[in-house]
Chain A
Amino acid sequence: MQIFGTRVPAMASLLIWAALWELVGRMEVSILFPPLTTIVGRLGELFATESFWNALSLTARSYLTGTAIAICAGVPIGVVMGRSQIFDRLLLPWVNTFTSAPLTAIVPVIMALFGFGETTIVLTVVLFAIWIIILDARAGARSVSTSLVEMAAAFGATRWQSFTKIYLWAALPEILTGIRLGLIRAVKGVIIGQLLVSVVGFGELFEVYSSNFLMEHMWALLLVLFALAFVIDEAMSYLERRAEYFAASRN
């Protein structure tokens, strides 16, 4: 972007908002908005506590397990749905419902079934991530060109070979988009799960901070979580761009 002939870096607008936040904080408009500098100061404090690292490792563990399950189950389910009308008819209404449903409302059900532990958090992550992964993998599998499918058949591919050597690869760009969106939703899942369970991980920390009005700590924690989500998103976009070269040339 150019302003008055000078090149301005893409992230420069963040500085303006950061300055505004600082200003509002210093004016002491509300106890809810402490100045940004003090929040950043709290970051260091936060990193020094053992409970933060415990929460982080629990979060990372449930996040990774949950997304791994969502990807390993979601991609094959989506591809099969994209290639088989029977499965598609059977599952699509559910997938569509869950993709748009307010999933937070279902978390208490999982909680009732699996207790207040890590299992519930992992399942919440799966619940948040899997539907968009299925939908995108399905869209990718449907867009596989007919001639590639015929080519595999003409050269004697078995069903399994068609699946692993053609459909998965031809649908890869859509699958990666789905995984990226799924990973973002999974961040919501892992936080919301912990907030609702609220006796483990970051949920516990949020509970402690908010009930004691430690707004600076809470904001610091939020900043960390936002940064994590941003990094995951960027990493996935990078992978997606790498896969794009053949997405453009596949038809």
Chain B
Amino acid sequence: MATPAPISASSPSTSGAIVEVRSVSKVYPGGVEALNGISLDFPEGQLTSLLGPSGCGKTTLLKIIAGLIPATSGEVRIKGRKVTGPGPDRSFVFQDFALMPWATVLRNAAFGLELRGVPRSEREAIAESYIAQVGLKGFEHKFPHELSGGMRQRVGLARALAVKAEVILMDEPFSAVDEQTRRKFQEDLLELIARERKTFLFVTHSIEEAVYVSNRIALLSKRPSRVSQIIEVDVPRNATPDAIRRHPAYLDTVESIWAGLKQYLD
């Protein structure tokens, strides 16, 4: 069953938190207030989703954690170290894939390692193994425009995994992918998570997706966003995908989140 718990205003840093967000606010030039004093812990080895209405600042928070944009106030710590910019401890999966159209799947997947100066043969071997893991074996020498949207995002995922970061940030990774592909991708993602034992931060606006893939869901309110609720998802992960989607815990959690979100729709 889902156990919605109200969050305390200043939750103490728990020993299991790998990413700590401390009263982060973001005001964009021009005065748009995207985030207002958000504090949130992300436990190690789990997949936590940031779920909220469109334009609520989920992606902004994720990019602040990634070090891609600075917070106006507050701070983010990864394993206790303050974030001042992008770092090798984090990698990012982009909503629009962000693949280099002039480079093959292999080079795209190895790009993070290429930037770090890993020798060619070594980085290509690593990238090849992750390309196989995301199910793209045989497509190493194709170019992004020869792949479908779902396959392109698999390359984006392989690239994020290849750098062996501890925290993987995913910004609505499946939103540009069609429904059927998305389901298959979600299932594959669960397998990958079980195998990789990493910390995933996942931004989505789909309730079903959040409940299906997450251990924990942080529900964000409308802009300027705050955390309105944290939901521990208690759905059996060893069941088949169909069984999960029919499980009462799954359906109840989806229902209770929907009930909570409805109030923001007016």
Point out residues on A near B: beta carbons under 8 Å: 145, 147-148, 150-158, 161, 165-166, 169-170, 172, 245-246, 248-250
Q: A148 vs B156: C-alpha distance in the bound complex, in angstroms?
A: 12
One digit per residue, 1 when the CB lies within 8 angstroms of any chain A CB and 0 when it does not, for chain B 92-110 equals 1011111011100000000
Q: Is B132 an interface residue (CB 8 A)?
A: no
| Interface residues of A, dominant DSSP | helix
Instruction: Please tell me if B125 contacts chain A, counting CB pairs below 8 Å.
Output: no
A165 CA to B101 CA in the complex, in Å? 12
| Per-residue contact bits, chain B 69-90, to A (CB 8 Å; 1 contact, 0 not) | 0000000000000000011101
Q: How far, in Å, is A155 (CB) from chain B's closest CB?
A: 4
Choose among B91, B95, B96, B143 the residue that contacts A154 (Cβ–Cβ < 8 A): B91
From A154, A245, A248, A249, name the one whose CB has the most chain B CB atoms within 10 angstroms. A154
Contact flag A147-B115 (CB < 8 Å), given A155-B86, A246-B102:
no
Chain B contacts for A156, CB-based, 8 A: 86-88, 112, 115-116
Asked if B94 and A151 make an inter-chain contact with CB atoms under 8 angstroms apart, the answer reads: yes
> In the complex, what distance in Å separates the CA atom of A161 from the CA atom of B117?
11
Distance between Cα atoms of A113 and B100 in the complex (Å): 46
Assess whether B145 is interfacial by the CB under 8 Å rule.
yes
A-B contact pairs, 9 of them (CB 8 A): A145-B96, A150-B68, A150-B94, A150-B98, A154-B91, A155-B92, A155-B159, A246-B143, A248-B145
Contact B163 A249 (CB under 8 A): no
Tell me what chain B mostly uses at the interface: helix, strand, loop, or mixed: loop
Residue count of chain B within 8 Å CB distance of chain A? 28
> In the docked arrangement, what's the CA distance between A156 and B87, Å?
6
Known: A147-B98, A246-B145. A157 touches B66 (CB 8 A): no
Closest to B169 in A: A154
B67, B87, B96, B100, most chain A CB atoms within 10 A: B100
Q: Which chain B residue has the least Cβ–Cβ distance from A246?
A: B101
User: A153 touching B86 by the CB < 8 A rule?
Assistant: yes
Q: Which residues of B contact A150 (CB under 8 A)?
A: 63, 68, 92, 94, 98
B245 to chain A, nearest CB (A): 31
Q: Does the CB pair B94–A155 fall under 8 Å?
A: no
Q: Which residues of A contact B94 (CB under 8 A)?
A: 147, 150-151
Q: A250 with B91: in contact, given A153-B68, A154-B66, A157-B115 (CB under 8 Å)?
A: no
Instruction: Report which B residues bind A (CB closer than 8 A).
Output: 63, 66-68, 86-88, 90-92, 94-98, 100-102, 111-112, 114-116, 143-145, 159, 163
The answer to whether B145 and A249 have CB atoms under 8 Å apart is yes
Cα(A147)–Cα(B96), bound, Å: 7
Task: Please name all residues of chain A whose beta carbon is closer than 8 Å to the beta carbon of B101 when the two chains form the complex.
Answer: 246, 249-250
Contact status A148-B115, CB under 8 Å: no
Chain A residues with CB under 8 A of B66: 154
A67 to chain B, nearest CB (A): 24
Assuming A148-B98, A156-B112, what are 11 further A-B pairs, CB within 8 angstroms?
A: A147-B97, A150-B68, A151-B94, A151-B111, A154-B86, A154-B91, A155-B86, A155-B112, A158-B115, A165-B115, A246-B102
Are B68 and A155 closer than 8 Å at their CB atoms? no
A156 to B143, CA, bound (A): 23
Q: How far in angstroms is the closest Cβ of chain A from B151?
A: 14
Chain A hits for B87, CB < 8 A: 156
Q: How far is the CA of A165 from the CA of B110 in the complex (A)?
A: 13
Bound CA span A148–B96, Å? 9
Q: Which residues of A contact B91 (CB under 8 A)?
A: 154-155
Q: Which of B63, B87, B115 has the most CB of A within 10 A?
A: B115
In whole angstroms, how far apart are the Cα atoms of A250 and B152 in the complex? 13
CB-CB nearest 8 A-B residue pairs: A249-B145, A151-B98, A246-B101, A155-B112, A154-B92, A147-B98, A250-B101, A249-B101
How far apart are the CA atoms of A153 and B86 in the complex, in Å? 7
- The reply to whether B102 and A151 contact each other, CB–CB distance below 8 Å, is no
* Complex Cα–Cα for A85 and B241 (A): 51
* Chain B residue at smallest Cβ distance from A158: B115
The residue on B at minimum CB distance from A157 is B115
Report B161 CB to chain A, min CB distance, Å.
Answer: 12
Most central of B67, B88, B111, B143 by chain A CB within 10 Å: B111
